Chains A and B, each alone.
Chain A
């Protein structure tokens, strides 16, 4: 309907929402659909081909996480992985204690599960975060009791890119359990945003359960995985035909898994020079902004408040230039705006003007330059209009 951007520049800076699938991933999915369409559970050759695809993908995904293939369980995505981890852990440990701990800025697919655990009788502790979005380990220590059975802390926040000290939390839990002579509470971490963006190995994180999603790393939507550390047992979420070693029933999404394998094999950790460049130029050249992403955050996310602007309007203006970004906050007065930014204690004006730029390894410095130029024009225009309006 709208006259779209002039020229053919297209800059996709919403990689935390989803990513463009790699050509190889699309090809792998197509091949799985066209040639190896058998059910992996069947006995004939066609089924075996499909099973081989799943097996190979499991190996690649496991390697990308520094895990063993038998520690990887394919799911329908990050949400299912998170649900499976939280409910599975609770159901298998609830006899040993009632306390479960998470943070205020988790993804809804974790937070809403904890809401449900509250209804099921859990003693839910939701840890607050600071104004820079970080978690205070002393606050966590204080919440940890002998009654604790599950801790779920995201690795990287999807809105701000804040990195949470999962390793330290793992260590604290371990020491605490050893000191008290109790079974170690399970540690789950949602790595949907850090996977493929930060260098980490499952074992280093010290987590028992790790959620990842394929479409955030140039795979397809509808595929993800849950890492379950060898030796840890939680209750399955999906019952049925016993696929995925009986842990996740349902005929395998072979095309999605094939694509996931292909994408995982191509992962490379970027230095995100485009993001650094954008941050530097925005800070230097556009007045009245607030960088909401912490200094030591994940380099794939840059959250910026343009004061005196409405993020949603900026989003639409940029869209006309072929630039795709996102806003956590809605433009409606009924909506209170981003839950995460509110939890960080940002002002209404800061939340209203908050735009998230999220990067992949393919984004370039030239793209960042283009974005800065367009943003300069749009913030100026919007601010001028607004001040004209309020002046009289």
Chain B
């Protein structure tokens, strides 16, 4: 009997299924994450049964809403809105007849909306106790559809519509689409990192990519108020708001770098300004990371994009800290990064013109191949420890919560 009391979704965990003994742990995490993202909507259940996760919702909750929200949970590989047929107490023939009847109903719906001509049935017998084997199941459901939908023909190579039939204990599930999600690993399964979040295009994408691999994030943002605008800070909060769709709650440490920049400008060579500032950013970030249980730093740097991102500059930058620095965008082209930014919805916000509006501290000809000894010599003219201490002490923390 077809379940018409609620909407059913099958959620597949892709990679997490491969994790051997960790599997139950990852799956439990995933169920927890899905429950969390659907929290606030009444009457929803999320359950794990035999390697699949089933989401059940009241009929009046729009399908797109569920697909969109669950699709954003890292670790979810794909989602299918499914028809659930209860075959409890039926023998195999009765069960397949019932499933065939429902398949015809679904197919008629597809014919009405898309005007298809050919179809294919793919069957899977998850319950090995069911006495009919998968190819037979496909054939018998296919026969029902051929009989029930006179306009259709079978095409096993390029069907207009592909219907999946999954026979499980007491239930048969029939669905048309597998909607691909982001994949990855559930957040919280891979430690915690501190991302250097600017208002640009790259760092939100870098954040997304690390969260995608299961990392919990915290962020640090640097500004030079009043040399930069307060709007730039609003923009960073807007970006963080978008990121929370994927990462959940996000804590941002905001730090004014101006006192440090002033010291650098007054005591160090102009062409080293950018790299020196960069090293300070890393050291402050390291301090914040250690204070907040973050195991690594994350930046949106990308090899060769600007002067501070040449191989030589990255070496000099990294030498300032002992924590590992993750650069998930290191080998990507700008266009690829922009594509991801568009997909995750941060692009439009990133390109607002408030970004680091001040070029006062941008040298005309920055060094592209800095030498560590020279940089260390320049830094020796500053009281680095005191400057870092003061910067960390002046931090302001904002916590951004997901909207939904």
Contact = CB atoms under 8 A, between A and B. Distances in A.
A319 B226 contact: yes
Interface stretch (B108-116, B191-199, B227-235): B227-235
B353 interface: yes
A316 B226 contact: yes
Contacts of A385: 262, 265-266, 360
Contact of A313 (B226, B230, B270, B353): B226
A389 B225 contact: no
A388 to B, nearest CB: 5
B226 A320 contact: yes
Contact of A1 (B229, B233, B360): B233
Given A388-B265, A392-B270, A1 B230 contact: yes
B254 A330 contact: no
A310 B254 CA distance: 24
A295 interface: no
A316 B229 contact: yes
Nearest to A333: B359
Interface in B275-329: none
B131 interface: no
Interface in B240-267: 254, 262, 265-266
A385 B353 CA distance: 25
Given A316-B230, A388-B265, A390-B270, A2 B225 contact: yes
Given A313-B227, A390-B270, A330 B360 contact: no
B361 A389 contact: yes
Contacts of A333: 359
Contacts of B97: none
Contacts of A312: 229, 357
A318 to B, nearest CB: 9
Given A330-B353, A388-B265, A392-B270, A310 B233 contact: no
Given A330-B353, A385-B265, A388-B266, A2 B360 contact: no
B330 to A, nearest CB: 27
A119 interface: no
Interface string A218-262: 000000000000000000000000000000000000000000000
A313 B233 contact: no
A322 to B, nearest CB: 13
B360 A332 contact: no
B61 interface: no
Contacts of B361: 389
Contacts of B179: none
A269 to B, nearest CB: 35
A316 B354 CA distance: 14
B226 A317 contact: yes
A332 B225 contact: no
A330 B361 CA distance: 17
B353 A316 contact: no
A386 interface: yes
B396 interface: yes
B353 A389 contact: no
Contact of A2 (B230, B262, B269, B398): B230
A308 B358 CA distance: 14
Interface in A295-338: 310, 312-313, 315-317, 319-320, 330-335
Contacts of A386: 360
A179 B361 CA distance: 62
A335 B396 CA distance: 30
Contacts of A390: 270
Given A330-B357, A331-B358, A388-B265, A316 B270 contact: no
A317 B228 CA distance: 10
A114 B385 CA distance: 60
Contacts of B359: 333
Contacts of A335: 353
B240 to A, nearest CB: 14
A385 B358 CA distance: 13
Nearest to B361: A389
B360 A313 contact: yes
A298 to B, nearest CB: 29
Contact of A389 (B230, B233, B360): B360
A310 B358 contact: yes
A83 B20 CA distance: 70
A316 B233 CA distance: 13
A320 to B, nearest CB: 7
B360 A310 contact: yes
Interface string B346-381: 000000010001111100000000000000000000
B230, B265, B270 — most chain A CB neighbours (10 Å): B265
A389 B265 contact: yes
B130 to A, nearest CB: 62
Contacts of B396: 1
Interface in A341-367: none
Nearest to A378: B226
A1 B225 CA distance: 11
A331 B229 contact: yes
Contacts of A388: 265-266
B270 A389 contact: yes
A28 to B, nearest CB: 34
Contacts of A2: 225, 230
A1 B361 CA distance: 23
Contacts of A316: 225-227, 229-230
Contacts of B270: 389-390, 392
A316 B223 CA distance: 13
A214 B342 CA distance: 42
A313 B358 contact: yes
Nearest to B233: A1
Contacts of B266: 385, 388
A388 B225 CA distance: 19
Contacts of A310: 227, 358, 360
Q: Name the 7 nearest CB pairs between A and B, nearest first.
A: A316-B226, A331-B357, A389-B265, A392-B270, A317-B226, A388-B266, A313-B227
Interface of B: 225-227, 229-230, 233, 254, 262, 265-266, 269-270, 273, 353, 357-361, 396, 398
5 contacts: A316-B229, A316-B230, A385-B360, A388-B266, A389-B270
Given A316-B225, A330-B357, A331-B358, 14 more contacts: A1-B398, A2-B225, A2-B230, A312-B229, A315-B226, A316-B229, A317-B226, A320-B226, A331-B229, A332-B357, A333-B359, A388-B265, A389-B265, A392-B270
